[in-house]
Amino acid sequence: MDLASLIDDGLEVSIVGSFSRVGIALRRQLFGWEPLPDGALEGRTVLVTGPTSGLGRAATDALAALGARIVLVGRSAERLAAVRDALVARHGEDRFPIVVADMGSLDSVRDAVRRVEATEARLDVLIDNAGGIFPERHLSPDRIEATLAVLVVGPFVLVSGLLPLLRRTPGSRVISVTSGGMYSQKLDLDDLQSSGGPFSGSRAYARAKRAQTALVREWARRLRGTGITFCAMHPGWADTPGLAETLPGFYRAMRPLLRTPAEGADTIVWLAAEPAGAATSGALYLDRRPRPFDRVPATRLGAADRRRLWDAVVGLSGAPDPAPDGRAGRPAPEG
């Protein structure tokens, strides 16, 4: 192993060194990151959920600068229009269509799928970024706990619905934006909707993010050989409105070490624009390098657990399985 990789491994173990702005600064130097080439995404279409603030806005700005056509998906027509108008003013052309959708409502997500299918001839990249932490437990319009609905079931329905378009687009990829907080939580497959015991918004969020990354691994396994790459990434600790609002104590204590939104979004943009085949389908990335899915053995989800989670989410989606398991009836390897 080379020296740069040894230093990187040490940063990863330290957590603070890895997730803070220190980590991305050192890694940029250690691995000699080159700027992505101008026009790297010209002729490609990228869909971004949650593009109006934080990491989603930073990623959208960077992807637009690389020439992408960007489908902006969010809840607020007014905020989406403001982002579109700013991008048009900056780039001198309107390649930023708006789709108003609430990821917590399955009817709304399915309507978004229909609108994207009606207007887009290709979909090169789907970025699942929208999220939220809810201080109290409440249910979505589909009677699903809101955190699970927005972070897991809604995105699952979005990807499922757009699979035909992704299949038709050579080298397409799906990027799920997760959180390092998922390392701290074990997913309770018997209580995915956080109905047992006192509700904690941050705990429900971390568990939903763990479910999200487990589903990325299942998508990658089930669609192996289709040409679609499925990856997860986590941004480290970035200075975003969501962090300041939901974890104010952590935000105040760590603010000097927080990454900028652009630094947090860097790996999103790299995964979207890197050459086909450079990223491993089913992997989790931080700072352009694959990272472990688990830090604490007790939080680990094995292959059978991931299949069980998949089946549960399919059930909550109310739709047929978009990628039936070819290994059904046979034991799956753990890991």
Share of the chain above pLDDT 70, in %: 96
Establish if 301 belongs to a structural domain. Answer: yes
Give the pLDDT confidence of 143-158 residue by residue, as tens digits: 999 999 999 999 999 9
Establish if 3 belongs to a structural domain. Answer: yes
Provide mean pLDDT across the span 184-189: 92
Q: Do both 28 and 111 map to the same domain?
A: no
Question: pTM for the whole thing?
Answer: 0.94
Is residue 205 annotated as part of the catalytic site, yes or no? yes
Establish if 206 belongs to a structural domain. Answer: yes
Provide mean pLDDT across the span 221-230: 96
Position 327 scores a pLDDT of 56
Q: How far is C-alpha 152 from the chain's CA centre?
A: 10
Using pLDDT thresholds of 50, 70 and 90, give the confidence band for residue 272: very high
Closest CA relative to residue 269, chosen from 193, 194, 173 = 173
Q: Do both 101 and 215 map to the same domain?
A: yes
pLDDT(5) > 60? yes
Give the pLDDT confidence of 72-110 residue by residue, as tens digits: 999 999 999 999 999 999 999 999 999 999 999 999 999
Q: Do both 9 and 74 map to the same domain?
A: no
Position 242 scores a pLDDT of 81
Q: Do both 130 and 8 map to the same domain?
A: no
What is the overall mean pLDDT for the chain?
93
Q: Do both 10 and 54 map to the same domain?
A: no
**CATH number for position 187:** 3.40.50.720
Using pLDDT thresholds of 50, 70 and 90, give the confidence band for residue 330: very low
Position 323 scores a pLDDT of 96
Establish if 325 belongs to a structural domain. Answer: no
Using pLDDT thresholds of 50, 70 and 90, give the confidence band for residue 328: very low
Question: What residue numbers bound the domain in which 200 lies?
Answer: 42-317
Position 167 scores a pLDDT of 97
Provide mean pLDDT across the span 211-225: 97
pLDDT(326) > 90? no
Q: Do both 10 and 157 map to the same domain?
A: no
Yes or no: say if 229 and 290 are a contact pair by the CB < 8 Å rule.
Answer: no
pLDDT(332) > 50? no
> What is the rounded distance in angstroms from the CA atom of residue 291 to the CA atom of residue 13?
11
Q: Do both 11 and 94 map to the same domain?
A: no
Give the pLDDT confidence of 22-47 residue by residue, as tens digits: 999 999 999 999 999 999 999 999 99
Q: Number of structural domains, the chain?
A: 2
Closest CA relative to residue 50, chosen from 24, 88, 76, 29 = 76
pLDDT(1) > 90? no
Q: Do both 246 and 101 map to the same domain?
A: yes
Q: Do both 27 and 98 map to the same domain?
A: no
Provide mean pLDDT across the span 103-131: 97
Q: Do both 90 and 185 map to the same domain?
A: yes
pLDDT(335) > 60? no
Establish if 17 belongs to a structural domain. Answer: yes
Establish if 332 belongs to a structural domain. Answer: no
Establish if 327 belongs to a structural domain. Answer: no
Q: Do both 14 and 112 map to the same domain?
A: no
Share of the chain above pLDDT 90, in %: 85
Position 325 scores a pLDDT of 87
Establish if 326 belongs to a structural domain. Answer: no
Q: Catalytic pick from 183, 205, 251, 285?
A: 205
Q: Do both 124 and 16 map to the same domain?
A: no
